[in-house]
Each structure stands twice: as structure tokens, then as C-alpha cells.
Amino acid sequence: MGTVTENKQDVNRLELEQKVKDMYRDVAQDPHGEFHFEMGRVLAERLGYSSEDLDRIPAEAIESFAGVGYYFHLADLVNGESVLDLGSGSGTDTFVAAIKVGTNGNVVGVDMTDEQRAKAEQLRDRDGFSNVTYRKGYIEEVPCKDESIDVVISNGVINLSADKNQVFREVARVLKPGGRLAISDIVTESQLPEGITCNATLWAACIGGAMQQDDYRAAIEKAGLAVEHVQDNSEYQFISDDAMGATQKYGVKSISLLAIKRGREAK
């Protein structure tokens, strides 16, 4: 069985992948069920999404929105750009990005969970978002060409990966020089103990895989990007007792971040 070590953590990758897929299949198909985390439009608005943007995208995608922050003010998307969304889920951020880059631009969403992609694809076709495509794949092995993307976005996903260094290497590979990484994700103030990091269930709930914030930033820089801005998203809170305990004890929190791929002046 494949296990991976990252920051003294050992989590069983196959077990983790199955738990994540099971959880996000339910997020796609039964968004009003019970989860460790909040979802939906009220959350999106509290995080910073404008009602104007949300009114222009499919309501069913927003019902399954499971992001952890707002980063579009950092991404600063421009008409005609190509965008990649890592862990695109039911599609909320791909649709918001599609509006911002217009029909001259394009958005690719990558997700490993079939039911999430199926839902996003069905909503895209119904509502005519012709500049959005979805690809089955892993964020550790992104199905995109080298230096083909202007902006990589991601919301609440990278914490779920057992190999974050590899995810950031992939981001650096697919971004054009000077391209941007604009994301929201879960990190911690102090290192999580192994009892939490080895627990695939807590990992799938966006807690167990959270990386210490300085290590997270260092992983991005090591991949070849310069971190320009980091902000805490105090509006995001976990809702289960387990999750709230970990939040208080280890400073599990949401951040939004902008980084630029080194190699050419940013736009």
C-alpha cells in the first residue's frame, strides 16, 4: 500500500483518495447532508464572493460550493486569459472565472471525483459556459501542457493532497513565466501531531492534511514562485466539534495567497 511521508506525517494514500472521493461525491450529490464544513451561497457571500457574480452562475453549483476563502481580488483575472482550477468540484470557481476571462479566455477544471465533474459538466452545458472544460485528473499530475496557463486558481483543495510539494511543482510547470497562482486553502499555525495527520478521515475533512503555514509558503517558493501576498480568512470556520477543537489548539485556519512564477515580470 502506498504511503507518503511529508513533514513526519504518514497517511495511507489509497485510503485517503477513497475517503476524499466518497466525501466529495456526497458534496456533489447531497449538498444538504451533514459535513464537517459549511457549504453553499451563504458561505460564499461571507467569504467575499459578490452577489452579482453568484447571480450569473448556476445555483446548483453554488449549493455544492465547498471553498474556504475568496481570492479573485488577488487573481485579478483579465479578459482573454487561460485559467486552471485545481480541484474544481461542482464548478463554482470555474464559472466565476469564465465570466471574468470572457469568451476570448478559457477555463480548465481538474478534479479526480467523477460525480463532481459530472455535475459541473451538466451545469456548464445547460447554461452555455462554452469556455469551460473539465478534465479528470490529479492535482499532483496535472493534465495540461508546460507553460500553457496564465493563472492557476484553487479553493480548499491543496490541503487534501498527500504531496503538496509535487502539486506546487506542477503549478510551476504549467504556468507561463510571470503567471499567477491565486488560491485559498487551509494551513496551520503549529505543526499537527501524528494522531491527526495519520487520520485519513480528518484529512478528508480538510484538517489532517493542513500544512504548517511557513512550510506551505516555503514549498511554493521552492517550486519557483514568489509569494507576493498572504491573508488570513477569519470569516471561514469549521463547524464540527472535532474540527473546532483542532482549530483552537493548532491554529487551523484559512488563508488566501498570491504567488508569481519567477522568470518574467508579472503583468
Give the footprint of ligand SAM on this chain (CB under 6 A): 20, 24, 65-67, 87-89, 92-93, 111-113, 116, 138-140, 155-157, 160-161
Cβ 82 to ligand SAM shortest distance, Å:
18
Cβ 220 to ligand SAM shortest distance, Å:
17
Residue nearest to ligand SAM as judged by C-beta position = 89
> Please, which residue, 10 or 226, has the CB nearer to ligand SAM?
10
Rounded Cα–Cα distance for residues 61 and 148 (Å) = 27
Residue 167: CA atoms inside 13 Å, Cβ hemisphere, count? 26
> Please, which residue, 82 or 155, has the CB nearer to ligand SAM?
155
Residue 253 and residue 232 in contact, taking contact as beta carbons nearer than 8 Å: yes
> Please, which residue, 66 or 246, has the CB nearer to ligand SAM?
66
> Please, which residue, 25 or 262, has the CB nearer to ligand SAM?
25
Cβ 138 to ligand SAM shortest distance, Å:
4
Cβ 247 to ligand SAM shortest distance, Å:
16
Q: Are strands 211-212 and 175-188 parallel, antiparallel or unpaired?
A: parallel
> Please, which residue, 131 or 184, has the CB nearer to ligand SAM?
184
Residue closest to 137 by CA, chosen among 105, 100, 104, 174: 174
